[in-house]
Amino acid sequence: MSDLLFQQMSTVQNKLQPTSTRVAAAATIAPNTFITFVSGTTSVATITPPVTGNHMLVLIFTDDSPGDILTTGNAIGTTNVVKNIPVILFYDTVAAKYYSAVGGA
């Protein structure tokens, strides 16, 4: 995604913005909207940043037994991935890492 389209990653959206996307779980995923649904059981290690600046992403895993977010790539992991509970990720350009926080209860 071009940095000119950075508003597509905004936490504030309107009906003209792209809707959330779905990707298959893989070692590397490339979200291109603020909210991305992830199907499958493969753990995620690397997330391709859709823009070059600091940003947030939300991943929602849809499998009954989702994989983890590993620390072997550019994500600081969590083993608390649960079906349909949003995982909020914050990207830091200095460290070039995603830091995760698990939403929900």
What pLDDT, on a 0 to 100 scale, did the predictor assign at position 77?
72
Q: Please tell me which residue, 42 or 18, carries the higher pLDDT value.
A: 42
At residue 78, does pLDDT exceed 90?
Answer: no
Q: Does some domain include residue 19? A: no
The model's pLDDT over 34-61, given as tens digits with 9 standing for 90+, comes to: 899 999 999 999 999 999 999 999 999 9
Q: Does some domain include residue 42? A: yes
Which residue range(s) make up the domain with 81? 3-13+25-102
pLDDT grade, residue 104 (50/70/90)?
very low
Mean pLDDT of 69-78: 87
Q: Are 59 and 41 in contact (CB under 8 A)?
A: no
When the pLDDT of each residue in the chain is averaged and rounded to a whole number, the result is: 86
Give the residue from 29, 27, 35, 31 showing the smallest Cα distance to 11. 35
Phi and psi at residue 88, in whole multiples of 5°? -95, 130
Domain count, the chain: 1
Q: Does some domain include residue 88? A: yes
User: 6 to each of 29, 57, 77, how far by Cα in Å?
Assistant: 18, 12, 25
